[in-house]
Structures are given as structure tokens and as C-alpha cells.
Chain A
Amino acid sequence: MTDSKYFTTTKKGEIFELKGELNSDKKEKKKEAVKKVIASMTVGKDVSALFPDVVNCMQTDNLELKKLVYLYLMNYAKSQPDMAIMAVNTFVKDCEDTNPLIRALAVRTMGCIRVDKITEYLCEPLRKCLKDEDPYVRKTAAVCVAKLHDINAQLVEDQGFLDQLRELLSDSNPMVVANAVAALSEISDTSPSPAAQMEMNQQTINKLLAALNECTEWGQIFILDALSNYVPKDDREAQSICERVTPRLAHSNAGVVLSAVKVLMKGMEYVGMETEFVTTLQKKLAPPLVTLLSSEPEVQYVALRNINLIVQKRPDILKHEMKVFFVKYNDPIYVKLENWTSYPSATQENIAQVLAELKEYATEVDVDFVRKSVRAIGRCAIKVEQAAERCVSTLLDLIQTKVNYVVQEAIVVIKDIFRKYPNKYESIISTLCENLESLDEPDARASMIWIVGEYAERIDNADELLESFLEGFHDESTQVQLQLLTAIVKLFLKKPTETQELVQQVLSLATQDSDNPDLRDRGYIYWRLLSTDPAAAKEVVLAEKPLISSETDRLEPTLLDELICYIASLASVYHKPPSAFVEGQALVVRRTQLPVRSASGEPGATGATESPVPQQAQPVQQQQSVIPSHDTAMGDLLGDLLSMDLNPQPQQQMSMTPAPQQDMGGMDLLGGGLDSLLGGPSPVAGMPASQASMGGGLGDILGLGISSTTYVPPKQVWLPAPKAKGLEVSGTFSIRQNVRYMDLTLKNNAMAPMGDFAIQFNKNSFGLSPASALQVPSPLSPGQTADVTLPLGTNGPVQKMDPLMNLQVAMKNNIDVFYFSCLIPIHLLFTEDGQMGSASDRKVFLATWKDIPDSNEVQKEIANPNQLDPKGISDKLQQSFIFTIAQRNVDGRDMLYQSLKLTNGIWVLAELKIQPRSPTMTLSLKTRALDVIPQVQQAYELIIANM
């Protein structure tokens, strides 16, 4: 007789039969019956009807039976709350039992009966159990507090259980400490109330570190996870925590190792600069991470996902461990796919080995895996220039295999290689063309078409090739259609004589027969361009394209930093912040921040990826602001244009796929194309003219009687209409009479009126926040424009942004909430009391200047286009709150010594060397906060160049 018989389904009337057995006098029969009930419950049958009968069996000496009844209770109490109360007495009695195992069992089970009424009865026993002499009971009670909190948070706070729990942190038994930590962490994670937050001071940390050495493996994980949320006071403390956690890396439980890695990765941030300590610690991290890769496949998977993050953050850690990522034939597919993480770290030295390995993989069976391999080969080529040639020949070999998906993937990749190294590998085009027929995926087709269009002059039968695609034009995906359109226009511009027919054909296909607005609009633009000014068209369509970089597969630095804080957790497996998959997690933001780094010691990834973003973004935004915003027809067109060009949204540019090249082409098109569209007699004159009118417009907007003193940059489009359901927001920042304003222009491009406007800022580097509500004339009818000024305060919540001056804004109206971000010009934050000392007393300035280490001095040549004299410069700067403290003349050069202060109290000192009649001057900045220097330099240039 075995227990498996309980799983076999019996005939009808089973419940009735069970009822009889449960009420039987024979103990054995009773137990049998309860087992049957539990088995039915497991399979998913509803046996709640038996509730009273099962509960009757509770009063028993047989512990096994008791446990079974409890199990039943936990499952069904919620559906029969009134009946559940019947059980309370037994629980309360059991909590007093002499056997600690029974006391613990009672407390444990009671916490699992999630009925509100029962909680009142639970409080007393729980309080006693938290102070029980037996550690087994205490550790069970500690978890029970978390259970109770889940049912009724208020009750836990009112009854003082949180304090009792905190006391348990100093318990003599390590397991009690570990469970208390786990409970407290969960409570502070889920509770919004400040009383529930887990404060950690040095003392608690020490206790936790002591318990760490002694408790079970799981307890160690709870403690390490809690430790990772602690912010050390200084680098000494961070260092000592790291030292005490390091031994955990040798634990056999992968969970312990990963959690320790998390503490150490965060710790290293606090220790700061690339000290020797950090270097040794990095060395110590590598072997345990590699060891994780020889554990069970599931653990390997988690480890690999985390290693991906770690390597992005600190590429040095595993640079010598390339080989361990080589895939083994028998690995489960998810492990194989994940091994890709390592390939971004390919370097010149190991590239030969890596390539050989990748080529091997590309002949595997699994389609996904093979595709990724091919893609990785391309990535290597883009990353390591010296290896590009070998990569290309490897790809050619792969194309020769004629395996369909390999060829397609290879062509997509080769397109990127062409972008990176123009005019180098075009000799292989003929080989590519041979495979034209076999391409059936949009990505591959689009890539191939791009290649044909781009190099049309070298391909003799380019027109035939493109024409062959044209036949099924309407069956192609949009991506291919757009690409085909552009390619044919390119071809026409290169070989105008023989392709006129073709281009007309495609233009009419795109503009007349297509429903797709993107395609239509692009077609119209080309058409007009070609008909009005072919020379301009040539410049636009065949413009030089920016090179692509290799970092496209990286996570965004801010997201990466956040995820580093979640190493080992689900977030690190998904590579998504917890808010993306956990409900109600939005409350807890505070623990996701890595410390603010000082810029000097950070040559690494963040610095590198930070700078290109604003630089890239700026020209685009400037172009947008050139467009006069009162021309409705124009605005619509602009809207459509934007929807086309900004199609991969800015965030996505950071994401895995490289932005398709045609978007870049589109940007050029926007800039150049507008000139001719404006229809002015001389396209060149169009630009300044519109700028002038813009300036005038600005003057009107600001014409509130106060002439602005500080430099005000022209308005930029922050939120294009297509992204905000017709609402277009453009704006700038200004200071008037010592008040900072955000000047906004809201335009309703939608068909319906808008109202209920409100605005909110995310935490930002300088604590900018709206000082009053947003006043928008409501409703804003379709086509209407409203200028709004929003006074700003500087006492809002502070969080270091990346880039530093980034401001994330949420704007709400009756339709939806929209998010956009803009850059705050730093001179907005200069304060009027930025004069250090006074003109007569220069000692303060001198002393401060000397006090700041020389390493904090940054020099830069800046332009002085109007060749202003020192007096003019000084006056100009003073209007923007950059104060001149002293002036002297050395060897015919004028030196200005200046100071400015930011709203958050950061002082920046400057020395400006002015060479008479020279278009440039030298600016040396000295400050303790190096992060602001690039912005201040920019501010100088802007202020001097403008007005």
C-alpha cells in the first residue's frame, strides 16, 4: 500500500464518502481520509466543502495528522473565514506547548492563514514567540512578522513588532538574525511608511557582518542582499565591508557568491577612484565568476546574465578569461545563447581565437544561435579595426555555404561593416549580388538594397537589380520600400541618363499608390528636391554619413548602473529594472542608485558614452528650432517628417540593434531639404532669415516689459507632436529679475482641444522644480499656440543625472501623460552672489584658487568670434552672473580672474587669457566638482558668442 493511490480519481460521491471517513472514530481511517483530501486539493479539486470535518481532526496528538490539517487550513481558510476562526483556539494553545517544534509550527501556520479576523488573535502569541527562549521559535516568529505585515501592515506598526524585529538583529543566534534581516528587508521594500524603513548604521552592519560568518547559506544570502543596500559613510568603511565580504566568494552556493559579488560591485563604486584596492578586488572577482559557469545549467544561465552586466560595467574583470565562454557542444541552448555576453570584450590580441570559434558556431544547427554568431563576427569587425579584414573574409566564407539564414544575416552585418569602413571592402559586392535571389527577410533585403544604392556607380547592372525589386513593390515591408526608394534616387543622381524612367516609376509608386504616409512623404520630398534643384538633391541624398560606432549593443549607462544594484536578482536576469515586471515597486527608488562618481577617476564606459549623446542631439534640435512655429502647413509637414526620422526613438538608439542607416540619411535630408522647401529665392539666405524672425518672436514672447539680461538660448522642440498625440512642446530657460523661468511654447497639432495641463520634473542634478503650477489658457484649441512661463525653484529633490544637465519632464493634459527630457543650460544655475570676496579684497579668491589641487584645473581654447576686449567680455559675463574679481596684463595679454557659484553652492573659479586681436582665448577652470566643467566651458562660449 503506498500513498500514490490517493492520486487516483475515484467515482462520484467521493466527497460524501470522505466526510464519513473524516468523522470516523478510528485514527488510522481519519488520517487516510485527510491524506486523500490533501491529494485532491493538490490536483486542483475543490474540497472546501469538507472544511468543518477536517478542522475537527485538528485536535490530535498526532503531529503528522496535525500538519496535514494545517496544510488544508492554509489553503482554504480564505474561502471560509468564519470557519477558520474555529481553529484559532488550537493555535493559541499550541503556541504555549512545551515542545518548541509545536510552538513554531503553530506560529508558522497561523501566519499563513490569511484571514483578517485571525490576525487579532495572532498578535499576543506572536509577541511571546518573538521572545521565546528557543531560537527555533524565534526564527520562525521573525518570518511571521513579515507574513502579518503582508496581511495588515498597519497592525504590525501599531503593535511595535518592527522594533521587536530590529532587536532580533542583535540576537545571539545567527539564523534568527538572518531571518530578521529578511523580514525587515521585505517590509521596507513593500511599505511606503517611513517607520517601516530599515535603517542601517555602522552598528547593525557590524552585527550583520558577524552573523554572516556563522549562519546557513540562505541566511548569508539574506544578509548580503541587505548589506548591498547600505551606503557606507566613507571609502574606509566601504573598503572594510568589502574585505569582510570577500571570503564569501569561495562559498559553494552560487546564490551566496552572486550576492557577494553584488556587495563588492557596489562597494567598489564607493571606494571610488581606481585605487590599488579596487584593482586587487577586481582580480579576486574573476575566478569565482568563472567557477559559476561550471555549475548546473540554470545557475550558469543566471551567472551569465549577470556576467554580461558586470563586464559592461568593468570590462577589465574577465578580459583574460575569454576561453571559458567558448560554447560546449552539449550545453542547453539558453546557455549557448547567453555565452554571447563575452564577445563584446574581444580585443586585438584574442581576436584570432574568437573568430575561429565564431566560425565554428556559425555551422551549428540552431538557427538563433547561428544568427547570433554571424552578428558577433560583424561586431568584432566593427570593434577591432585590425581584424576587420579577417572578419570580412570569414563572412564571405559563410556566404559561400549558401545556407539561407546565414547568408541573410551576413549581408545585414556586412552593410554595417561598409558603414564603418567606407571604400575598403567594396570588392566583395559582386559576391553579395549573386545571392540577391535568396534573400527573403526584410532586414536582409533592405540591407542589400542599401548596398546596391550606395555603390550604384560600381555595379554595372545596378538598375536591373533594383528594377527587379520594384516589381513586387507593394508586397514589400515598409522598411524595404523606403530603402528601395532612397536607393533608386541615389542611383538616379549617380547615373541620371539611363535611370530616369526607373526613378519616375518608383516615385509614382511611392506617392500615388501607397497608403503609407512615411513612404509618401519621403517620395514627395525627393520629387520636389529633384525637380527644383538637383544639385541640392545630390548634396542631401548623397551626403556623407556619420560613422557607426561599436557600442550599440550596450545597455544605457543609467540602466546599467541600476541593474548593477540588482545583481543576482530577477532584474539582472531580465536586464530590466524591477519596476518593469513587479507591481507596486515604483515606490522604492532609493536603493537603486550607485554613488555619484567624481569625473576624474572615471575614464571608463560612462564617460565615453556620455559625451556623444548631447553632441549628436544638438545639431538636430537646432535645426528643428529654425522652423518658424506659426506656419501651420509647415508644422504638419514637419510633424510627419519627424515621425519618419525619429522613428527609432532616442532611447532606442542605445539599444541592441544599430539604428538603420536610412534614418541618418533622413536627418541630412531634413536639414538640406528645408532650404529648398522654404522656397526662398536663395536657399542659403533662408536660414539666417528664419533665425532672425525667430529672435523677433522670442522678443515678443518675452516682451513682458522686462528685457532679459542673461543669455537666453533659442527655443528648441522638446516634445515633437507625433510623440505626444499632437501636442508639441518647445522651450528654453531664462533668468529674469533673479527668477529662473522655463519658457514654454505649447502647440496643439491635434484635431481636438486640449486642457488640464500640468507639469512635473523628475529628480535632477540641481534640484530644479516647478515653483508654481503650469498656467495654460485652457482649452487649447486645435492649431492654437500658447506661450507659458513657469517659474522654477532650486530646492527640489536631487539626483545626479546622466548627462549631468539632463532634466526629465512629465507633462500631462486631458489626453495622456507625455515624457520628454531637455538639457538645462548651466548658466541658468549661476547665482547673483557668485562674486567671491570682493573687487577690492582678492585674498579669498587667491586662497581658494591655491587650495584647489592643480589636478582639478582644466584648460580649453574657446572662441572669441567678435574679438571683444576684456572690458566687453567682463561686462557680458557679469550679466550672466560670472563675476570678474581681478584683471591684469602680462606680456601684452589680458588675464581675467573670475568666479561663479551654482545654486547648489558649487564654486567655479576661472582664469581667462585674452590675446588681443585673436579669435580665440584660453579658459582655465578650477573647481572641486569636475563634472560641471564641460558645461561651464560651453556656457562661456555661448555667452561670449551671442548677444
Chain B
Amino acid sequence: MIGGLFIYNHKGEVLISRVYRDDIGRNAVDAFRVNVIHARQQVRSPVTNIARTSFFHIKRSNIWLACVTKQNVNAGLVFEFLNKMVEVMQSYFGKISEDNIKNNFVLIYELLDEILDFGYPQNADTSILKTFITQTGIKAQVTKEEQSQITSQVTGQISWRREGIKYRRNELFLDVLENVNLLMSPQGQVLSAHVAGRIVMKSYLSGMPECKFGINDKLVLDKSGRSDDPSKVSATGKSSIAIDDCTFHQCVRLSKFETEHSISFIPPDGEYELMRYRTTKDISLPFRVIPLVREVGRTKMEVKVVIKSNFKPSLLAQKIEVRIPTPLNTSGVQVICMKGKAKYKASENAIVWKLKRMGGMKESQISAEIELLPSDKKKWSRPPISMNFEVPFAPSGLKVRYLKVFEPKLNYSDHDVIKWVRYIGRSGLYETR
């Protein structure tokens, strides 16, 4: 298993070093610094083997986190753990930065002691950890009951929720957040398109509520024979969608999903990500980008880009930004656009065109003249034109059908819970070559 964990600043100075196994010596710390951090090349792999010792690293802002081992460990586990470690630290003290880590080094050691025992990751759920490890030191007086409650939660079957939570108002917020990714050829052929969606919940519910969640997944609907229900037609005009694959928060009973295709769970308290999914079929692409590039001689280029919105006219897209890369030898740019603002940013080698909002089924265009310095360098490989936006619907066509809450022990019913649902579609990598 994991033999040790080190945290470095950008200079390669050690901020945290915890060694779990004898086979990892102090020189391992230096080996990583010299061979990876100071190597100054592009990192060719997140796994490095130096003198029969393997280093796994991730980098967050300018902090390096590295796990060391001499054994044949589960690599998936190690990286998942490192990411989890980052998540835990963030929830304790916010941004991962050198200062924050130095300020909280005692806390970090304490956390490491708890969540990584002899290199084996243990329960690392922040809501539980926070019940007995706090930034202000250990809670001084803990009653005996509280103690056993803590231990049963850490090891318990429902390790993500503590008992005895109470709210005056039982409320639920449900966000369907989708990133739509597109790679389109200049001729308008879709090379690849997929939606990576997340369902993020904020739950403020008392007791140990049992939840059941339903979406317009084709598989489920076909099973219950309701796929033709006309009232369920979504913004994109589809009644049900085909989900390629989905993953769930650990609270969801996976075996139940496998057999009955029902999503049932006892939710953690507060905010968490219930589900991730991916679809590739019948995605309604909110925007179409049509580029026209013409080279006029060796020192001039003309670029015209048209964007077309492709959704219901009653909806509004926001925060639209189109980024048009320009050659490295650009000397000057003249931009003309009817709507929004466009600027040439020399430092980023791109024309950035921003539109605050845009309705559905509209069209807008920008044209630019780019002056080039004569250069004899090899042909410029034009990066794709990328786009950012936010739309108030789910491009995959996903709809929440229901979210039922049952709490058998307390006296509130499904009707008493206030539920909020919101759909946000954002651009992921939305590129046109």
C-alpha cells in the first residue's frame, strides 16, 4: 500500500511529510524533488519510477501532492485518494495554497493519521471527520454517548450521515448541471459530442430520510411502459433520453440500481454530488459556430465567425464568449461585431468576443482582419475556436421526474418538503476546428 505522502510547494520544499512504511526513506523526499519538480520538463506521466520507488503525484494550483510506494499498489485507489485528500483539505480550510497548508499543518497531520492508516485509506468523509477533528483542536469534553456515536459513524454502514439531524424547514435543492462538449469540423460535421452531467443536491432534511429519485431515463421508462407520456415532453422535445453510463455517490444503493433501475439512498447532509452521467445520443447543441478563414497574401488574414443559437426562442443564453485564436505573428487586429464586445488579446493570442445574453433561434456574427508580420516559420497549426456559454436547460434532455422523501420515524411527509429544481447547461470543451 501507500508508503508515504508528501506535500511540496512550487519550489520543491516539503510542507508535509508523513511516512507510513519502513521501505520509504527520507531520501525519497529528495528524489521526487530532484527528478520531478526540478526536472523542468513537461511531466510525461503522473506516475514516476525512481530507483524502484514509485511516485504518484497530482498538482493543485502550485502545490504538489505525492504518494510514494515500493509495492504494486492499486493506482486507481492512490489517485482517487489524493483527490479526496485535496477535497478534505479544501473543506477544512479552503484553497490549497502554501500559506493555508503551513497554517494548518497540525490539522493536516491529524487528518492524515485518521484517513490513512499504514497506507490504507480509511473513511474520509468530511462531514463525519468534522465531528471529531476540528480546526480549533480536539473538542475538549466529549460525552461517552457522543464518543460511541462518532465511532459508529466512522465505521458505520451509513458513514456519510450522522444521526439526530433536525431542521425546522425541510428543504431540498436539486441542480442538474450539464457540461456539453463538442468537437466540430470546419465543415460543420460533428466529430464528437457528449454531455457530462452532474446532479448536485443540497439537502436540509431531518432524521434519516429515505429518498427515491427518478429521471426520464429511457431504460427506466421503457421498463415501466410510460415512455409515450406526452406530458413529459422536455424542452428539447424528447420524452426520454438514453444515458450511456452513470456513476453514483456512495450513498446510492448500487445493487438496487442494477436490478430495479431505481435510485434510492439516504442522503448526506448539506451539499453533495448525487450522480454523474454521460450521454452521447440526441444532444441538442445550443450553439453552432461557423468559421470562415481566408488568407489574403502572406501578411493578412480575414476571419468571419457566425454563431447560431439553436433552442426555444423563449429561453435566454448567458455569459457567451467566443475565443478565436490568432497566429503568433499577429501584428494587429481590426474587429467588427454587431452585438456584444470583442477585443484582441495579444497576450492570449486570441480574439475574445463576449455577449451578455442571446435568445434562442438567433444569429450573430463577427468579422476580423488580422495583420501578420512576415515570418518564414513553419505553418501555423490553428487551434480550434472555442466557446463558453450558459443555458437554462439540460442539453441532454434530462428531466427530473420525481424526488420522494420518506422519513418513517419523524412526522413529516413527502409533501412537507420544499423542493427546488434547476437546470443549467454549460459549455465544456465546445470547439470548432
24 contacting pairs across A/B (C-beta < 8 A):
A44-B29, A67-B113, A67-B138, A98-B144, A105-B113, A108-B113, A136-B155, A137-B151, A182-B120, A216-B123, A216-B125, A221-B77, A247-B254, A255-B77, A298-B57, A302-B75, A326-B191, A333-B42, A403-B378, A569-B73, A570-B54, A570-B71, A570-B75, A574-B47
Min Cβ gap A43→B in Å is 6
**A573 with B250: in contact, given A67-B113, A401-B379, A581-B52 (CB under 8 Å)?**
no
Chain B contacts for A176, CB-based, 8 A? 155
- A857 contacts the other chain (CB 8 A): no
Name the residue on B nearest A326 (C-beta): B192
- What is the 8 Å Cβ interface bit string for chain A, positions 187-223, against chain B (1 contact, 0 not)? 0000000000000000000000000011111100110
Contact A401 B378 (CB under 8 A): yes
Cβ contacts under 8 Å, B379 to chain A: 363, 401
Interchain CA distance A215-B196 in the complex, whole Å = 27
CA distance in complex: A224, B12 (Å):
36
Chain B residues near A105 (CB, 8 Å)? 113
Complex contact A296–B79 (CB within 8 A): yes
- Kindly state whether residue B40 has any CB partner on chain A within 8 Å: no
Contacts of B304 in A (CB 8 A): none
Q: Which of B16, B152, B196, B257 contacts A250 (CB 8 A)?
A: B257
Interface residues of A in 169-183 (CB under 8 A from B): 173-176, 179, 182
B103 at the binding interface (Cβ < 8 Å): yes
B110-124 residues at the A interface, CB under 8 angstroms: 110, 113, 117-118, 120-124
Q: Does A68 contact B (CB under 8 A)?
A: yes
Whether A221 pairs with B16 at a CB distance below 8 angstroms is: no
Closest residue on chain A to residue B1 by CB atoms: A186
Taking CB atoms and an 8 Å cut-off, the chain B residues in 235-288 that contact chain A are 244-250, 253-255, 257-258, 273, 276, 278
- In the assembled complex, A111 has its CB within 8 A of some CB on chain B: yes
Q: Given the complex of chains A and B, what is the CA–CA distance between A631 and B334 in angstroms? A: 85
Give A730-741 as 1s and 0s: 1 = Cβ < 8 Å from B's Cβ atoms.
000000000000
Given contacts A218-B77, A569-B72, contact A334 B105 (CB under 8 A): no
Cβ contact within 8 Å between A67 and B109: yes
* From B16, B113, B155, B191, residue with most partner A Cβ within 10 Å: B155
Query: Given A4-B102, A334-B44: A573 and B155 within 8 A (CB)?
Result: no
Interface size in chain A (residues, C-beta < 8 A): 113
Distance between Cα atoms of A173 and B153 in the complex (Å): 11
Measured in the bound complex, the distance between the Cα atoms of B116 and A140 in whole Å is 11
Q: Which residues on B sit within 8 Å (CB–CB) of A251?
A: 247-248, 250, 254
A7 to B75, CA, bound (A): 32
**CA A101 – CA B54 in complex, angstroms?**
33
Task: Give A104-125 interface residues, CB cut-off 8 Å to B.
Answer: 104-105, 108, 111-112, 114
Provide the A1-45 mask, 1 if CB < 8 A to any CB of B, else 0. Answer: 011101100000000000000000000000000010011001110
Residue B43 is within 8 A (CB to CB) of chain A in the complex: yes
Q: Which residues of A contact B121 (CB under 8 A)?
A: 218
Closest chain-A Cβ to B310's Cβ sits at a distance in Å of 21
Instruction: Say whether, besides A38-B106, A42-B105, A44-B26, A334 and B381 are in contact (CB < 8 Å).
Output: no
Q: Nearest CB to that of B30 among chain A residues?
A: A44
The proximity string for A residues 242-269 relative to B, scoring 1 for CB distances below 8 Å and 0 otherwise, is 0010111011111111110000000000
- Tell me the bound Cα distance from A333 to B424 in angstroms: 31
| Interface pair A581/B49, CB less than 8 Å apart | yes
Q: Mark B370-384, 1 if CB is under 8 A from A, else 0.
A: 000000001101011
Provide the A141-155 mask, 1 if CB < 8 A to any CB of B, else 0. 001101100100000
Identify 9 new A-B residue pairs, CB closer than 8 A, beyond the known A143-B117, A329-B384, A568-B75: A38-B109, A101-B147, A214-B157, A221-B77, A247-B258, A251-B247, A287-B278, A333-B43, A582-B72
Q: Are B433 and A360 in contact (CB under 8 A)?
A: yes
Q: How far is the CB of A701 from chain B (nearest CB, A)?
A: 46
Report the separation of the CA atoms of residues A175 and B125 in the bound assembly, to the nearest whole angstrom.
14
**A557 touches B (CB below 8 Å):** no
Within 8 Å of chain A (Cβ to Cβ): is B230? no
- Chain B positions 1-48 with a Cβ under 8 Å from a chain A Cβ: 1, 13-17, 19-23, 26, 29, 42-47
A475 / chain B contacts, CB cutoff of 8 Å: none
> Which A-chain residue is minimally distant from B190 (CB atoms)?
A323
Cα separation A135 to B109 with both chains bound (whole Å): 23
The B contact surface, by secondary structure, is: mixed
Q: Which chain A residue has the least Cβ–Cβ distance from B185? A: A356
In Å, the complex CA distance between A351 and B384 comes to 23
Instruction: Assess the A114–B22 pair: CB atoms within 8 A.
Output: yes
If A67-B109, A333-B44 touch, whether A216 touches B151 (CB-CB below 8 Å) is no
Q: CB-CB < 8 A to A290: which residues of B?
A: 244-245, 278
Contact A252 B378 (CB under 8 A): no
Does B83 sit at the interface, judged by CB under 8 A? yes
In the complex where A250-B248, A253-B250 touch, is A568 in contact with B74 (Cβ < 8 A)?
Answer: yes
B321 contacts chain A at the CB level, 8 A cutoff: no
Interface assignment of A71: CB less than 8 Å from any CB of chain B: yes
Point out the residues of chain B lying under 8 angstroms from A143, CB to CB: 117-118, 120
Bound Cα distance from A121 to B4, whole angstroms: 26
Tell me the complex Cα distance, A635–B383, Å. Answer: 61
A871 to B431, CA, bound (A): 79
The 10 closest A-B pairs by CB, nearest first: A287-B245, A136-B151, A4-B102, A255-B76, A255-B77, A247-B258, A247-B254, A578-B72, A258-B76, A218-B121
Give CA–CA (A569, B74) in the complex, Å: 4
Return B113 CB to nearest CB of chain A, in Å.
7
**Smallest distance from the beta carbon of B187 to chain A beta carbons, Å?**
11
Residues of chain A at the chain B interface (Cβ within 8 Å): 2-4, 6-7, 35, 38-39, 42-44, 62-64, 67-68, 71, 75, 98-101, 104-105, 108, 111-112, 114, 134-137, 139-140, 143-144, 146-147, 150, 173-176, 179, 182, 186, 213-218, 221-222, 225, 244, 246-248, 250-259, 287-288, 290-291, 294, 296-299, 301-303, 323-324, 326, 328-330, 332-334, 337, 353, 357, 360, 363-365, 401-403, 566, 568-574, 578, 581-583, 585
Q: Is B210 an interface residue (CB 8 A)?
A: no
Report how many residues on chain B are interfacial, defined by Cβ distance under 8 Å: 100
Q: Are B72 and A101 in contact (CB under 8 A)?
A: no
What separation, in Å, do the CA atoms of A144 and B75 have in the docked complex? 23
CA distance in complex: A73, B250 (Å): 36
> Does B234 sit at the interface, judged by CB under 8 A?
no
CA distance A144 to B118 in the complex (A): 8
Chain B 152-171 interface residues, beta-carbon cutoff 8 Å to A: 152, 154-157, 159
Q: Which residues of B contact A569 (CB under 8 A)?
A: 72-75
* B257 / chain A contacts, CB cutoff of 8 Å: 247, 250
> Does A568 contact B76, Cβ atoms closer than 8 Å?
yes
Q: State whether the Cβ of B183 lies closer than 8 Å to any Cβ in chain A.
A: yes
Q: How far is the CA of A175 from the CA of B121 in the complex (A)?
A: 11
B19, B79, B138, B383: residue with the most chain A Cβ atoms closer than 10 Å: B79
The residue that B247 contacts in the complex, of A100, A150, A252, A403, with Cβ under 8 A, is: A252
Cβ contact within 8 Å between A570 and B250: no
**Contact partners of B125 in chain A: CB under 8 A:** 216
Say whether, besides A218-B77, A326-B183, A569-B72, A252 and B102 are in contact (CB < 8 Å): no
CB distance from A370 to the nearest CB of B (A): 10
**Do A140 and B70 form a contact, CB below 8 Å, given A44-B26, A135-B151?**
no
B132 adjacent to A101 (CB under 8 Å): yes
A570 to B26, CA, bound (A): 22
Q: Pick from A134, A247, A578: contact of B148, CB below 8 A.
A: A134
Q: Are A301's CB and B45's CB within 8 A?
A: yes
Q: Which residues of chain B come closer than 8 Å to A585, judged between CB atoms? A: 72
Q: Decide if A101 touches B49 in the complex (CB within 8 Å).
A: no
**Assembly CA distance A175 to B156 (angstroms):** 7
A299 x B76 contact (CB < 8 A): yes
Whether A323 contacts B245 in the complex (CB less than 8 A), given A182-B120, A334-B45, A401-B378, comes out as no
In the bound assembly, the distance between CA atoms of A299 and B58 in angstroms comes to 10
Q: Which chain A residue shows the least CB distance to B378?
A: A403
Q: Is B99 an interface residue (CB 8 A)?
A: yes
Query: A323 contacts B79, CB within 8 Å?
Result: no
Contacting residues, chain A, for B82 (C-beta < 8 A): 298
- In the complex, which residues of chain A have a beta carbon less than 8 angstroms from the beta carbon of B192? 323-324, 326
